[in-house]
């Protein structure tokens, strides 16, 4: 599970996973997503690792990668991703790039063009920490996004702040109206998860599910998490 604070890694490692589309506390069909905290060269590592998981019989585990402003503006990002797809027979729809609102709103027209080119390649896109930036709803409709991720600052006080709960529900409704999947960040308790499920949130991530872990521990953790549903 992705932690409430974003990890910074010196090397390419799987730091967390995210529970997806699970609306009940006992869901036999829930899936998990690996969230990679990697340097710019980590895209190849993530693809290689995803293939290794597939060959180990784990299926196509979705991978999420943080995309920086420098990478987005480099001018060579789309070409690099084409090379990655030529080198690795991965399913691009199972690889998601996360961007913050501030990155999206910087030089909007160029950003939209780049994101559309990334989408043509088949990759998924999400807006991270939504609700804390200054994105325009008009531009939000123009970005070729697949997902909104609600910032943890709203989630962590949904029990004590009616305003935060109202904002969270509003973001969930907005995302669904736009045809987007909605993820809540910073879920730390069963109570948090229950409130968010009842609000219709599609994905939950946070310490309630798991803390950051090295890739070497991920498979064992995944098997242990799936065991109750297989029994």
How far apart are alpha carbons 104 and 125 in whole angstroms?
A: 11
Exposure string over 134-168, b if 16+ CB within 10 A, otherwise e: ebeeeebeebebbbbbbbbebbbebeeeeebbebb
| Annotated active-site residue in 96, 98, 185, 203 | 185
Report the first-to-last Cα separation within the chain, whole angstroms: 22
How far apart are alpha carbons 143 and 112 in whole angstroms?
A: 6
How far apart are alpha carbons 195 and 23 in whole angstroms?
A: 10
Annotation marks residue 55 as catalytic: no
Residues linked to residue 63 through DSSP beta bridges, in sequence order: 34, 95
Nearby residues of 136 by Cβ (< 8 Å), 6 or more positions away = 105
Closest CA to 150 of 129, 134, 167: 129
How far apart are alpha carbons 184 and 182 in whole angstroms?
A: 7
Active-site amino acid positions: 185
């Amino acid at each position: 599970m992705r932690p409430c604070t974003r990890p910074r890694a010196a090397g390419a490692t799987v730091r967390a996973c995210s529970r997806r589309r699970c609306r009940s506390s006992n869901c036999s069909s829930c899936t998990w997503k690996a969230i990679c905290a990697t340097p710019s060269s980590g895209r190849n590592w993530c693809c290689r690792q995803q293939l290794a998981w597939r060959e180990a019989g784990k299926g196509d585990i979705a991978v999420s990668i943080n995309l920086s402003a420098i990478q987005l503006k480099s001018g060579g990002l789309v070409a690099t991703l084409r090379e990655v797809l030529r080198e690795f027979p991965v399913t691009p729809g199972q690889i998601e790039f996360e961007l913050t609102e501030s990155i999206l709103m910087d030089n909007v027209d160029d950003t939209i063009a780049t994101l559309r080119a990334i989408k043509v390649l088949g990759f998924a896109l999400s807006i991270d920490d939504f609700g804390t930036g200054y994105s325009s709803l008009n531009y939000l409709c123009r970005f070729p996004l697949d997902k909104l991720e609600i910032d943890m600052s709203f989630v962590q006080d949904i029990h004590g702040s009616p305003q935060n709960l109202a904002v969270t529900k509003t973001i969930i409704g907005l995302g669904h109206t736009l045809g987007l999947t909605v993820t809540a960040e910073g879920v730390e308790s069963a109570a948090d998860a229950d409130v968010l499920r009842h609000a219709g949130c599609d994905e939950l991530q946070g310490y309630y599910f798991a803390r950051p872990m090295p890739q070497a521990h991920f498979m064992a953790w995944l098997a242990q998490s799936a065991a109750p549903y297989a029994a």
